[in-house]
Structure formats: C-alpha cells, structure tokens
Amino acid sequence: MSKRALVTGGCGFIGRQVTEELLENGYSVTVLDSLVEQVHGETAPPQDERVDYHFGDVRDPERVKAALKGVDVVLHLAAEVGVGQSMYEIARYVGVNDLGTGVLLECLIDNPVERIVVASSMSVYGEGLYQTADGTRFDRARRRKDKLRPGHWDPFDADGRPLTPIATDEEKPVELASIYALTKYAQERAVLIFGEAYPVEAVALRLFNVFGPGQALSNPYTGVLANFASRLANNQRPLIFEDGRQKRDFVHVRDVARAFRLALESKDAVGQVINVGSGNAYTIRQVAEILADAMGMPEVEPEILDKMRSGDIRHCFADISKAHDLLGFEPQHRLEDTVAEFAEWVRETGAVDKAAQMRKQLEERGLVS
C-alpha cells in the first residue's frame, strides 16, 4: 500500500514538481494551498485528478486537520517568498511562514505522521562562506550599508583585507540578513525541535536559487531567472542590483523535487539540515547573459544599477556534499543545459513585467541605496 503525502503549498512552482515526483514514485498525494493571487494570478492552476486538493490557509487549523486525514508524511513548502518584499510586509511573512508552521505542527500532535520535510532556504546563511588570503575559513562575513559604496560591494575581514567566496556548507553559522531569512530559519528550527519532542522524524532542506518552467513570471519578488525572463519577454533590459558580479547557485526545480522525495526516504536524513543546490557558482550578470542568449536576444545588455537592496547578500553558493552523502543526491539538470527549455516555456507562456514596480516599492521605503 502506497504512502500518502501532504504537500503544503503544493500548487506553487516547487510544490507542483514535488507532487509530480511523488506521484511518479508510487505515493498518493494530498495538497493544501491558499492560491495567493500574487503567485498564481487570478486563474487557479490546473488540477491533477490523481491529487486530493484542499484549498485554504495553512494558518487555519480546521483546513489543516482536514488535509492531514489519512496522511503518512508531510512536505511543508507553504510560505511567502522573496527577500525584498519581506522587508516591508513583515507581518505577512511572519504570519504565513512562522504562525502557519506553528499551526501545522500543533495539528500534527493529534494527527501524527511518520516524517515531515520542511523547505528552508539558503537565505539563512546571510553571506556565504569565505576564506582569507592565507586560506583560513571565514564564516562571519556581513556587509553594512553604511560601509559600502558603489564599486566596493565585497565584504572584507576585520582588518580590511579582501575575502574569497567558497562553497557554503551546513556548518557555516546562520547570519540572518532579512525578515524572509528570519522566518525561514524559524520554520526550520520549529520543525526540527518538534521532531525531537514528538515521534515524528524531521528533515530540513535549505534550498538555493530554484529555477525552471512553471515559475511565477509576473511576481517580481520570485526567482532571479523569472525576473530576468519577464523583462526580456517584454523587450526590457534585466535589472541587476550592485555590479552583477555577486555569485549564486542555481538548481533546477526537478532536482529539488527529487531531493524532497529522497529526504522522505533516507534514514540518514532524520534530524538533519541539508543544502540542496547545484554545487555551481554563477555571477548574476553571467546568468542574465546566458538567458538573453537562450531567448534569442544576445545583444540585450542588463542594466547595472550600482545600488544595494536591504537584505541582499553578496555571495552564496552551495557545498552539496552532505546531500550526496545522506540522500544520494546528484543534480541532473545544469543551468547551461536546461536554460533553452526554460526560455521556450517563457515564450509560450508570456509574462507581465513588474520589475520597475518592485524597484519603486523598495525605493519609496528607503530599501535601496
């Protein structure tokens, strides 16, 4: 008899892929989603007849209890996403991410499951891991807006010496630079603490920058590739804060979905925090150029703003050794190999460009400098 999994946020970009991954591997699936308009638009996403859907807010105990009936395992993805917006819609982010997780966990006390896997975020690291000029590990880098000026965006050590970014592992201390990061860390810790107190196995996956077909192209606070694609699809230059040399790790949504399934099935994953990324570092400008080329617009140069957003970090890319060792996880969809598929999906889907609106909202609140 197959296990039944509840996927909270299961109608979202990652949630849909996780649902498909589970169905393809013999699970029955229940989905709970509130269908937030900013993510889904005014039209509800198509439904899969194989899935038991529950539509409602994760903060509503009655909705959550109804969705938990007959469930064996939970994958908790329901959350507000985006660093920039979290810096001014604070109550919204704290409410959905932290209170929502609290409601879910309380409901699990009387409706126990075998395992819960929560979607955490690389944002909890703040700045990624660095090393000094002599090769010493440096894991407490943090930038201060009042110490930065255009052209000098990289962090330094306590003596003002430059640092070199290296792959970030799970041993790096948390350094919370945004409200979003704060809420994701609270989700992660709440789930793991719950797993220690109750007979429910708990796992936290720290996701890096997820991309792929199905992203919300009209939500300016979603992923970098979706933002750039929306600009290019509307014949606009991608907007890049700072100088575009900041480095990130981009992991395909299908790889992420597989990681969630593996986290359900691996005995070694219990109680662990695990990075899920590609293990590769790309500069933001490089990503904009790769995407423009894939969309047949290689002549379109990104607009470099030389301004910093509050909550942004400089460099962070994943060390995925732990995912390999505990989950048997190996990324299969590199950015360079799948960006053409993404570009084709963007052309077929269309996009409303709201990047200028996002920039205005942040600037009006003094969150860009």
Question: Annotated catalytic sites, by residue?
Answer: 180
Task: Return all residues near 75 (Cβ < 8 A) that are at least 6 apart.
Answer: 5, 6, 7, 8, 18, 22, 116, 117, 119, 260, 264
**Three-class SS state of 226:** helix
**Three-class SS state of 118:** strand
CA dist 229 and 219 (Å) reads: 12
> How many residues are given for the chain?
369
H or E element that contains 73: strand 73-76
Where on the phi/psi map is residue 109: left (φ > 0), alpha (ψ -120 to 50), or beta?
alpha
51 CB neighbour count, 10 Å cutoff: 19
Structure tokens at 220: 């300016």
Strands 209-211 and 250-252: parallel
H or E element that contains 231: helix 224-233
Q: Distance of alpha carbon 244 from its chain centroid, rounded?
A: 20
Kindly state the greatest CA–CA separation across the chain. Answer: 61
Q: Residue written as tokens 């470099």?
A: 304
CA dist 160 and 164 (Å) reads: 13
CA dist 226 and 91 (Å) reads: 25
**Closest by CA position to 248, among listed 206, 279, 289:** 279
299 CB neighbour count, 10 Å cutoff: 7
